Chain A
Amino acid sequence: MAWSVMGLCGESPNPGPSLGKGVACLCVPATQGNEELWVQSVLEMPKRRDILAIVLIVLPWTLLITVWHQSTIAPLLAVHKDDGGDSQRDLAAGLDSKEYCLSERDIVEVVRTEYVYTRPPPWSDTLPTIHVITPTYSRPVQKAELTRLANTLLHVPNLHWILVEDSQRRTPLITRLLRDTGLNYTHLNVETPRNYKLRGDMRDPRIPRGTMQRNLALRWLRETFNKNSSQPGIVYFADDDNTYSLELFEEMRSTRKVSVWPVAFVGGLRYESPHVNAAGKVYGWKTVFDPHRPFAIDMAGFAVNLRLILHRPQAYFKLRGVKGGYQESSLLRELVTLNDLEPRAANCTKILVWHTRTEKPVLVNEGKKGFTDPNVEI
């Protein structure tokens, strides 16, 4: 407070009369140096007016500072200012022995991202494109699985979704779904040959599920992208029932050859992961189920640089004669050696992808002929 008064006093050579409000210059005596005069004038000024004048000067500055403080924080917290006030209130007595804790600190931290809801994010010229290959087949939960996968993919910039149906023709359900998401997509289809010797609609059990579809996507990539083009890209195989965190996509974007990371809920374990030595190189696999496979890793646990795919045009997933769990090895051994693998996710210590599986829904009440209207799409 003193400085503002001082400032005002400092400007005018004659403190008292020039201000016209009777502000007492408490700090700077009159330049005349006549101390008695100054003291006298101080005592003479009516006290009420002094106080009023000081308040009149101090008040706006304090208001200004608080308002300015608020206005810089307001854009971030405008929605949540109410939450801050809540933590102090006492809880309703009617709720016996229950404790509701409001994590106010968390709320403040969480609103870092100001989301502008245009989806997907705008295409960037500098980021490598992530080509996500998803094989899918028709079953009751198909649309639900693809919907929530799309909801995740819509957050990722520079993402190209290659959806390959296991069907004779491209189905309208998928066509509509892809169009409505707004994602950058390619819609392919190839039918796994059915084994007509078996009853019903059984596929040939010797071909692992999704193999032909993934191979078709690889072939499409090789036909679409020129080997010598400089467009950077990453290829990732994403099954439609897994769960992916957004961090995973950023980890894989910097892949030079093949990058790997842990996957949760595979091989009968909480997670499987590569063994990484102190030098940051992969030297083995932390699995219980057949750890001596060349690449004891799940489909969701690795990503390949597009250049590598294009430069090795003969590398595909083996269709037949593949033992359970060796599918990934059948592709990776044609592309890379163990030494070339790049560990991600903090040297393979963080879980960024979960191999969740969705329960088959109970549809007993449909009966043999089907009860619900088949035209209503689920």
Chain B
Amino acid sequence: MKSLLFSRFLLLLPWVLIVIIVLDIDSSRAPLPARVPSGGGAGRGEPRSSAARPPPQRRPEAALPTIYAITPTYSRPVQKAELTRLANTFRQVARLHWILVEDAAARSELVTRFVAGAGLPCTHLHVPTPRRYKRPGLPRATEQRNAGLAWLRQRHQHLPPPQPGVLFFADDDNTYSLELFQEMRTTRKVSVWPVGLVGGRRYERPVVENGKVVGWYTGWRADRPFAIDMAGFAVSLQVILSHPKAVFKRRGSQPGMQESDFLKQITTVEELEPKANNCTKVLVWHTRTEKVNLANEPKYHLDTVTIEV
């Protein structure tokens, strides 16, 4: 009899263990697409508990929507410096996924090494810009941003809606305050905010009345449908996925119309959500870095070691 019970127990033991572990995984994994929480507090990434027996009353925190930052980049002396300080900012933001797209025919070693040690979730893509599009006056980084969009669409195509997530385009020389990410996380469709040091002015911003965007306060071509800079808006992932053909266009796109051409495919001015205190605070600046003076670099008698800068 005793041996019978014992053997029965041994048979049931693995099943019981499985049930416990599955319960533990389910409770510690982020829950399925939840409603977008209102207002972000400082996102906390709690260390995952791997307790064998999860407390049954503990509900996991409503998952913060992931912010996807698409950054086109190209090789020049200050590239690593720009990416470093951008990474230092992004690492302060919870649940941010960085999509870095190189303007190159192949992945460069510098960026590959950088991504490996970046310290935040990062996707490294690359797509070269055709030579004929590299003239001054033509829109830049179109192919790279489209590559980021394509990757994002592909990644989510099999998952059921609603997909929480916010996407924005982060150029590698701009400056972002941490408050900006809190503001954009609550985007339902497309949100907008002021941008500093752009358009020949201290700042540009959407004009807001009664919580709706009614016009554009800008120094350059205010007649554009969306007179806003690339750094001045964010789009929710759901909108991107439900408009699979919305991409940045090259043909027929006038200079400065890139943002307008893109946004008019996915939204209207009435639907825009103003952020940053009804678009009265500047949380992102369109800084540009000076071209580096390398006049003293020798043509001959190069250094004995090769150092990456």
Contact = CB atoms under 8 A, between A and B. Distances in A.
Contacts of A155: 88, 91-92
A31 B269 CA distance: 86
Nearest to A286: B303
B154 A378 contact: no
A1 interface: no
Given A18-B7, A78-B28, A148-B89, 20 more contacts: A8-B7, A56-B11, A57-B11, A60-B15, A64-B17, A67-B22, A75-B48, A78-B48, A100-B127, A102-B123, A102-B151, A110-B117, A117-B93, A118-B42, A147-B177, A265-B78, A363-B200, A363-B202, A366-B202, A378-B197
Contacts of B117: 110
Given A111-B121, A115-B94, A358-B290, A72 B50 contact: yes
B285 interface: yes
A118 to B, nearest CB: 7
Contact of A109 (B116, B281, B307): B116
B123 A103 contact: yes
Interface stretch (B185-193, B208-216, B254-262, B291-299): B291-299
Q: Is the interface of A mostly helix, strand, loop or mixed?
A: loop
Interface in B82-124: 82, 84-85, 88-89, 91-95, 97, 107, 112, 115-124
B275 interface: no
A372 B203 contact: yes
A8 B10 contact: yes
B138 interface: no
B199 interface: yes
25 contacts: A19-B4, A20-B8, A60-B14, A74-B25, A78-B48, A79-B95, A83-B155, A91-B150, A95-B150, A102-B123, A106-B112, A106-B116, A106-B124, A110-B117, A112-B119, A115-B45, A117-B42, A117-B43, A151-B89, A152-B85, A267-B296, A268-B297, A364-B200, A376-B203, A377-B281
B202 A92 contact: no
A75 B50 CA distance: 8
Nearest to B155: A86
Nearest to B14: A60
Given A115-B91, A361-B197, A103 B296 contact: no
A96 B256 CA distance: 26
Nearest to B66: A79
Interface string A228-259: 00000000000000011110000000000000
Interface string A344-357: 00000111001011
Interface in B268-309: 280-282, 285-290, 292-298, 303, 305, 307-309
Given A154-B92, A269-B296, A110 B7 contact: no
B85 A243 contact: yes
A358 B11 contact: no
Contacts of B285: 141, 143-144, 147, 378
Contacts of B97: 79
A107 B217 CA distance: 41
B25 A71 contact: yes
Interface string B38-80: 0000111111101000000000000000100000000001101
A166 B193 CA distance: 31
Contact of A378 (B84, B159, B203): B203
Contact of B45 (A114, A262, A270, A378): A114
A141 B15 CA distance: 63
Contacts of A220: none
B218 to A, nearest CB: 9
B309 A270 contact: yes
Contacts of A107: 121-123
Contacts of A95: 147, 150
Contacts of B122: 106-107, 110
Contacts of B25: 67, 70-71, 74
A354 B48 contact: no
B175 A67 contact: no
Given A60-B15, A152-B85, A101 B309 contact: no
B120 A268 contact: no
Contacts of B125: 100-102
A225 interface: no
A2 interface: no
Nearest to A78: B29
B79 to A, nearest CB: 10
Interface string A87-123: 0010110010011111100110111111111110000
Contacts of A376: 194, 202-203, 205, 280-282
Contacts of B155: 82-83, 86
Contacts of B281: 376-377
B21 A99 contact: no
B180 to A, nearest CB: 10
Interface string B207-245: 000000000010110000000000000000000000000
A270 B77 contact: yes
A8 B6 CA distance: 10
Contacts of A350: 307
Interface string A182-202: 000000000000000000000
A61 interface: yes
The 4 residue pairs across chains A and B that have the minimum distance between CB atoms: A60-B14, A268-B296, A365-B200, A365-B219
A63 B17 CA distance: 10
Given A71-B25, A103-B115, A349-B305, A359 B289 contact: yes
A283 interface: no
Given A100-B150, A356-B78, A376-B202, A148 B119 contact: no
A144 B200 contact: no
A215 to B, nearest CB: 27
Given A74-B28, A289-B296, A378-B282, A20 B4 contact: yes
